[in-house]
Structure 1
Amino acid sequence: MSGLIEGLPDSVALLCLARVPFYFDPYLLLVCRSWRDAVCSPEFFKARQEVPAVEFLSICTGVREKLWQLYDPLNDIWVILPDIPSETRDPEDFAFVSTAGKLFVLGGDCTYYDRTTDSDVGETATDAVWSYDPILGSWDRRASMLLPRSHFACCVLEGKIVVAGGLNSSFQPISNAEIYDPETDVWVPLPDLPSIGFSASGVVIGGKLHVFYYGLSTVRILENGGCGWAWTVKEYGWLKGPMAVVREEAYVLNDGFVFKLDKELKIQKMVAEAPADCSYFYLGCYFTMIGLGDELYMVGSEEIYVLTVGTETPTLRELPREWYPRDGHTITRSTMLRL
């Protein structure tokens, strides 16, 4: 490759091209042969790694058929991702996380109702793991989990994916936990959860994984101490509801209000009230919160609100509904992708 940008050394020009958002790569390939060769070169991928990281909101819409999308808050652009090339039905009650610059879809319930047989067909829990590389623009099948599961806790801890609890193929709760290294594509067992329950969820706060069960007042905490991974069980007095972390500070939505928590996870102050017309913000149904930069993205089934918490006076705004709905507008999962 030579003469990428007139008047600039190729090394500098390559850094300029690397700053173009990845979703414009197909257009870069069409400019000229030298740009096409540059974008496809190992030097370009290396230059991309030197560019300051950018955070994207990723959502999944639809129930029976999924549509995967990314939102770039810096440029206010939505991007549609390709479908997962799976031969089975798109899962429900799956996990959706991001690490190592890739999106990961794990497990879930792949059953569906077959009218011809008047029965449910498919796997009630799967061990499948898929990853999406936004630079290459493709999904890849990764190593399967050690056990199939749905309705489970899943978080990224120290750059690795931890899954814990959930329901097995017989809809029975399990205590199994495991950890995945995206660099080696290997799953390793973790100590079992000290107790089991239904509908597990998790959040990482202070470098520790906190696992909650619906209806229980205790939290199971996983940390990597001097003697390896270990669980502890504690009673928790903080408010129940969806949680997210912004700049190492935890926030929780409870009964329509967003509260900031202190280091002991006790209420520090009330930050904002959810919009009155969004009943699911109060009920917590089909609702998640994601921290991006200094903002808290409150993602409901049909609306997305952005709460700026990095200022003295928090502000709340609604994100224009410019994402593409599938299967009744329903947003079923969301996560943050950092590139």
Structure 2
Amino acid sequence: MLEGPSFLVARDLPSAYEQESKWIYNTYNVIELSKGKRRLEDAEEIGSTKSSKPLDPVEKEDSILSQPSDNQGTEGDHTGSGSGSLIGQVGKDLSISCLIRCSRADYGSIASLNRDFRSLIRSGELYRLRRHMGITEHWVYFSCSLLEWEAFDPIHRRWMHLPRMMSNDCFMCSDKESLAVGTELLVFGKEILSYVTYKYSILTNSWSPGVKTNTPRCLFGSASLGEIAIVAGGCDSQGNILSSAELYNSETGTWVILPSMNKARKLCSGVFMEGKFYVVGGVGVGSSGMLTSGEVYDLKTRTWHEIPDMFPALNGGSEDNNTPATSKAPPLLAVVKNELYAAYYARMEVLKYDKKRNLWDTIGKLPEQASSMNGWGLAFRSCGDQLIVIGGPRSYHRGFIEINSWDPDDGPPRWNLLGHKQSGSFVYNCAVMSC
């Protein structure tokens, strides 16, 4: 495990993606021209960049690079050896064109070259340009120990320990929700008198107070799409179950109130699918059982539509019928290529949702080591074009954690072990950051 800033992560040059690797190799050669202050220590091992869709060649790139920079007139334009041109021999625009193709795992090393590069990396401009060009990497963030967070880079299969969260004992022991949006990891919890939000930024590798939601809540459903995220439902500090929803924009740092759902629900799950936000399952008002309905929010029309019986498949098994609904984890859902999957923890199965029939089909098994307590302690997420499961065998002592992945295009689930490390085997929170 590597600790500290992300620039301490070593990289490997992959044999695949030859064309992309040439870009990275050329980028390294160009960066070498600007090393007036310090040498890039592990330059021979620059990593690859994973693109979620093919890049539109020169026209799209030129239109993006011609946009006014958010960083103009800042420190980076007047300091360092490049005097704002970054790689002085090729100019700022071509420098940025090279850098957006580098893996985000390399950005810490690049930022250490001089203040020009550091200012550019910390401004977030490169991530904005990457998003416009469809260049995306997916890193997994999870917590197996109170106030401790790990990051995992599945491309290079590297671990990183995040700085410890600073909070009081009440927050440490309270129920917490998490989501990753843009370049931020948000963690929601409760302190002595109120709900609070903490924000981890990959730009600064540090925690800071985050912006609170308009309606304080916990046990809500949430999901992110690029720089925006939506939270819906949950319950307030008095235990009232909520139907309200809010949208967060990570670029402006603001929460906007959305129309309320048709039904109030807590312990629900949220996903984005086909550009729409879905809330599934949960516990409703005056009900002792799990809700079987789902709701979908259309961002264009700003309306909710209820889907009856969207989630009955995981509520009929005799294995967990004796467990109170409030003791069960929210539905374990993930979306890959606009297809919805669920982890049926009681039977250790993976299910796929048939949108046309409004039914779930069993397609295979979960990894053997993926144990849970009524669904708690197990993470089931999408990571780019793959599904991942994070968990370990149930243990009262310090055990180990595994990250397994499966590409649904490869047929029935055949899990590939991405990472394994000694750790607590109970996953408290998990989020995937795509940027």
Tell me which interval the TM-score lies in, with the shorter structure as reference length.
0.7 to 0.9
Residues 197, 268 of structure 1: CA spacing in aligned structure 2 closer, same or farther, 3 A cutoff? Answer: closer
3-state DSSP of counterpart to 1:230:
strand
Q: Which has the larger radius of gyration?
A: 2
| Contact preservation (8 Å) 2:379, 2:427 | no
The TM-score normalised by the length of structure 2 is 0.62
Question: Quick one: distance in 1 between partners of 2:124 and 2:310?
Answer: 45
> What is the Cα deviation at residue 337 of structure 1?
0.6
Residues 268, 193 of structure 1: CA spacing in aligned structure 2 closer, same or farther, 3 A cutoff? Answer: closer
Residues 244, 132 of structure 1: CA spacing in aligned structure 2 closer, same or farther, 3 A cutoff? Answer: same
Larger strand fraction of residues: 1
Letter in 1 for 2:118: C
| Contact preservation (8 Å) 2:185, 2:199 | yes
Provide the residue aligned with 1:289 in structure 2: 380
**Worse-superposed segment, 52-61 or 161-170:** 161-170
Letter in 1 for 2:32: I
| Contact preservation (8 Å) 1:239, 1:252 | no
Which one of 216, 229, 236 corresponds to residue 310 of structure 2? 236
The TM-score normalised by the length of structure 1 is 0.78
Provide the residue aligned with 1:250 in structure 2: 340
Where structure 1 has 5 or more consecutive residues not aligned to the other structure, the ranges are 111-121
Residues 21, 67 of structure 1: CA spacing in aligned structure 2 closer, same or farther, 3 A cutoff? Answer: farther
| Contact preservation (8 Å) 1:193, 1:220 | no
Residues 98, 148 of structure 1: CA spacing in aligned structure 2 closer, same or farther, 3 A cutoff? Answer: same
Provide the residue aligned with 2:115 in structure 1: 37
- What is the correspondence of 1:61-140 to structure 2 with a 5 Å cutoff? 61-62=144-145, 65-87=146-168, 89-90=171-172, 92-106=174-188, 108-110=189-191, 122-123=192-193, 126=195, 128-140=196-208
1:124-173 CA-partner distances (Å, limit 9, x unpaired): x61x2232221222223232112222211122257432222222223332
Provide the residue aligned with 1:200 in structure 2: 268
Residues 220, 14 of structure 1: CA spacing in aligned structure 2 closer, same or farther, 3 A cutoff? Answer: closer
Larger helix fraction of residues: 2
Letter in 2 for 1:212: G
Question: Quick one: distance in 2 between partners of 1:157 and 1:294?
Answer: 15
Provide the residue aligned with 1:210 in structure 2: 279
> What is the Cα deviation at residue 184 of structure 1?
2.6
| Contact preservation (8 Å) 2:221, 2:279 | no
Provide the residue aligned with 1:5 in structure 2: 32
| Contact preservation (8 Å) 2:143, 2:429 | yes
- Per chain length, whose mean CA-contact separation is higher, i.e. which structure has more relative contact order (CA < 8 Å, sep 6+)? 1
| Contact preservation (8 Å) 1:179, 1:188 | yes
Letter in 2 for 1:61: C
3-state DSSP of counterpart to 1:41:
helix
Question: Quick one: distance in 2 between partners of 1:228 and 1:46?
Answer: 30
Residues 312, 173 of structure 1: CA spacing in aligned structure 2 closer, same or farther, 3 A cutoff? Answer: closer
Question: Quick one: distance in 2 between partners of 1:245 and 1:227?
Answer: 22
> What is the Cα deviation at residue 99 of structure 1?
1.8
Letter in 1 for 2:433: L
1:277-320 CA-partner distances (Å, limit 9, x unpaired): 54429x42322311112321012354332223222454213343
Provide the residue aligned with 1:331 in structure 2: 427
Which one of 127, 137, 143 corresponds to residue 60 of structure 1? 143
Count residues in correspondence: 313
Question: Quick one: distance in 2 between partners of 1:80 and 1:265?
Answer: 44
